[in-house]
Amino acid sequence: MTVIGWMQIAFYAALLLAITKPLGWYLLRVYDGSMHWLSWIERPLYRLGGVDPTDDQHWTRYAASLLLFSAAGMLLTYFVLRLQALLPLNPQHLAGVTARQAFETSASFATNTNWQSYAGETTMSYLVQATQLTLHNFVSAAAGMAAAIALTRGIARHGGEAGGRLGNFWADLVRGTLYVLLPLSLVVALVLVQQGVIQNLAPYRVVTTLEGARQTIAMGPAASQIAIKQVGTNGGGFFNANSSHPFENPTPWSDFVEMFLILAIPSALTWTFGRMVKRQAHGWALWAAMFAIFAGGVSATYWAEARGNPIQAAAGVDVRPSAGNPGGNMEGKEVRFGIANSALWAVATTDASSGSVNAMHDSFTPLGGLVPLVNIQLGEEIFGGVGSGLYGMIMMAILTVFIAGLMVGRTPEYLGKKIQAREVQMVMLYALVLPAAILVPSAVSVLVKPGLAGLTNTGPHGLSEILYAFTSTVGNNGSAFAGLNGSSSYYNTLFGFAMLVGRFAMMVPVLAVGGFLAGRKPARESAGTFPVTTPLFVALLVAVILVVGALTFFPALSLGPIVEHLLMGAGRTF
């Protein structure tokens, strides 16, 4: 670890804090109707879709609209992928995508996961990249923000004025896309082009290398897709090497911009939430809980990677940093980014649902790889994806006040609303879907031949690769331990269903909680009300998140990265 490395991490954290309020204020203006002077942009879209944006939808209709919209988008993308060979903007004459991979990919992008079991530059045409995949990058992110805003409305409203109504999904979707994601992505794309990210429709170029070999250089409209993949915490790469590819991420400044965008909107939404529920201090309390876990993860990962591999040190490799040697574990990392920025990106991308990478997580040390894995397993709560991070943290906050209520023997309250049986049932369903959808298929996959086929490593690291794959797909993250070849009928099918379950089986309970709370009259605070703006609440919230995650996943982790770390310390590997 170096002073410069810590300074870079501190600068990132300071800028994240600085953007939270101004961007949060802008998001508030977008969703509270203050942008009505731009309604002339929205009206043609509503007329085209036959939508009344003033229709205040009950939570069941809101959820149905979200599900039907996502299903229609997924179906469209499936057919475009299958027919790719017959469509224009395909200068490389790439074939249509196979049925199993088209299903997985359409599910992946419809759920904001962007898991890729293919190399983008050799599988997807410009038309698919620029329309289908980029389209889902926008609308899946906008749908996530809409769900978070709907839950916030449910908490802010009272029974007499709402009766389970959460707003209009179509209006939230359109406004999030038009006023947040599109303008931000346009600005970011221009910045990335200035930094050297490519943006063209030229055919691939065949060049002669210095050694005299022939090499094909992929081209394409990369900057536009990279901008929204980072802004919308989508992840996924235009190129197979993702953001370690020089055409996606050519400079240290492009690296910082892309990395910063991962957490910008999730961080700002905590301020928006606090203002909408008229408890700004509580919004900052949620931010503090998120940041505390984030800071712990960055510190642990940076330490593990900067410490390096003791087996290499014992073999005579110098793992100490110096003027001419970065030291530590540089396997799978770009020299131009170094260990600090690689560790920071790995933690930020798995705290959110981004999944974009500038280093290979599979090459991290066991503890360095453990932190990104645990980040996803804790749920989308440590800033999380756009929208999904906020509503995940709110669900954990409700669970926290429920536990606090049990401690003192009183009915729990959250922001003036009594928490009753229905809300607790939905919170528990939300909390149980993630581990069930991860652990069950992971256990099956280590027992059957199709699950073990394509596995590069054996022993604890092989288990970590399978566990990470299901954790990433169910958690709608999209990053991977690259040692598992997921391009098979078995994994394409399982991963596709895992992503759908991880997105929608968790989103519906969130909207149900919003609807239940919207129909409830406010309760006066009393001496037994647990305050949700204090350091004690932040500490208890962090403890609940960590304990729930530890109790659920520790047995599996102890057989994977933890055992691998102990073996590495003893000088043994598999």
Please report the DSSP string for 168-228 in residue order: -HHHHHHHHIIIIIHHHHHHHHHHHHHHT-----PPPEEEE-TTS-EEEE--S-HHHHHHH
Mean pLDDT calculated for residue range 274-303: 95
Tracing tokens 């389209």 back to the chain, one arrives at 135
Q: Do 428 and 514 contact (CB within 8 A), yes or no?
A: no
- 3-state class (DSSP) for residue 539: helix
DSSP symbols for 341-359: HHHHHHHHHHHTT----SB
Between these two residues, 50 and 407, which has the higher pLDDT value?
50
For 317-473, where are the E strands, in sequence order? 413-414, 417-418
- Element housing 165 (H / E): strand 165-167
Bridge partners of residue 217, in order along the sequence:
205
**pLDDT score, position 157:** 87
Which candidate, 236, 249, 256, places its Cα nearest to that of 344?
A: 256
Mean pLDDT calculated for residue range 382-398: 91
Tracing tokens 């020299």 back to the chain, one arrives at 335
Our CA dihedral for 519, 266, 471, 474, rounded to 10 degrees, sits at 40
Which candidate, 176, 153, 179, 178, places its Cα nearest to that of 58?
A: 153
Query: In Å, how far are 19, 179, 294 from 267, measured between CA atoms?
Result: 8, 18, 12
519 band by pLDDT with thresholds 50, 70 and 90? confident
Q: Do 199 and 222 contact (CB within 8 A), yes or no?
A: yes
Q: Is the pLDDT reported for residue 521 higher than 90?
A: no
Helices marked H in 328-446: 338-351, 366-377, 388-408, 421-445
Mean pLDDT calculated for residue range 371-382: 89
**pLDDT score, position 160:** 58
Mean pLDDT calculated for residue range 229-237: 87
528 band by pLDDT with thresholds 50, 70 and 90? low
Q: Is the pLDDT reported for residue 527 higher than 70?
A: no
Q: Do 400 and 282 contact (CB within 8 A), yes or no?
A: no
Between these two residues, 308 and 219, which has the higher pLDDT value?
219
**pLDDT score, position 275:** 95
- pLDDT per residue over 98-114, tens digit each? 999 999 999 999 999 98
Tokens of 378: 């804790």
Q: Is the pLDDT reported for residue 571 higher than 70?
A: no
**pLDDT score, position 63:** 96
Sign of the alpha-carbon torsion through 176, 131, 120, 223? negative
Between these two residues, 457 and 65, which has the higher pLDDT value?
65
Tracing tokens 């040692």 back to the chain, one arrives at 483
- 3-state class (DSSP) for residue 572: coil
Q: Is the pLDDT reported for residue 573 higher than 60?
A: no
Q: How far apart are the first and last CA of the chain?
A: 27
Lowest-pLDDT choice from 93-97, 223-227, 264-268, 381-385: 381-385
Angle made by CA atoms 358, 360, 364, in degrees to the nearest 5: 120
Q: Do 179 and 35 contact (CB within 8 A), yes or no?
A: yes
What is the C-alpha to C-alpha distance for residues 355 and 365, in angstroms, rounded to an integer? 19
Bridge partners of residue 455, in order along the sequence:
484
**pLDDT score, position 530:** 84
Q: Is the pLDDT reported for residue 558 higher than 70?
A: yes
329 band by pLDDT with thresholds 50, 70 and 90? confident
Mean pLDDT calculated for residue range 172-187: 95
- 3-state class (DSSP) for residue 59: helix
Q: Is the pLDDT reported for residue 569 higher than 90?
A: no
Query: What predicted TM-score, i.e. pTM, was given to this entire model?
Result: 0.92
What is the C-alpha to C-alpha distance for residues 269 and 31, in angstroms, rounded to an integer? 11
Q: Do 365 and 303 contact (CB within 8 A), yes or no?
A: no
**pLDDT score, position 241:** 84
Q: Is the pLDDT reported for residue 436 higher than 70?
A: yes
- 3-state class (DSSP) for residue 493: helix
Which candidate, 427, 393, 345, places its Cα nearest to that of 545?
A: 393
**pLDDT score, position 438:** 94
Sign of the alpha-carbon torsion through 178, 184, 187, 190? negative
**pLDDT score, position 537:** 92
**pLDDT score, position 273:** 96
- pLDDT per residue over 154-173, tens digit each? 999 886 556 788 999 999 99
Instruction: Collect all residues with Cβ–Cβ distance below 8 Å to 346 and sequence separation of at least 6.
Output: 301, 357, 359, 361, 364, 368, 371, 372
Mean pLDDT calculated for residue range 346-359: 91
Q: Do 16 and 263 contact (CB within 8 A), yes or no?
A: yes
The average confidence (pLDDT) of the chain is 90
Instruction: Collect all residues with Cβ–Cβ distance below 8 Å to 64 and sequence separation of at least 6.
Output: none
Percent of the chain surpassing pLDDT 90? 61
509 band by pLDDT with thresholds 50, 70 and 90? very high
Tokens of 451: 């699950």
Mean pLDDT calculated for residue range 358-378: 91
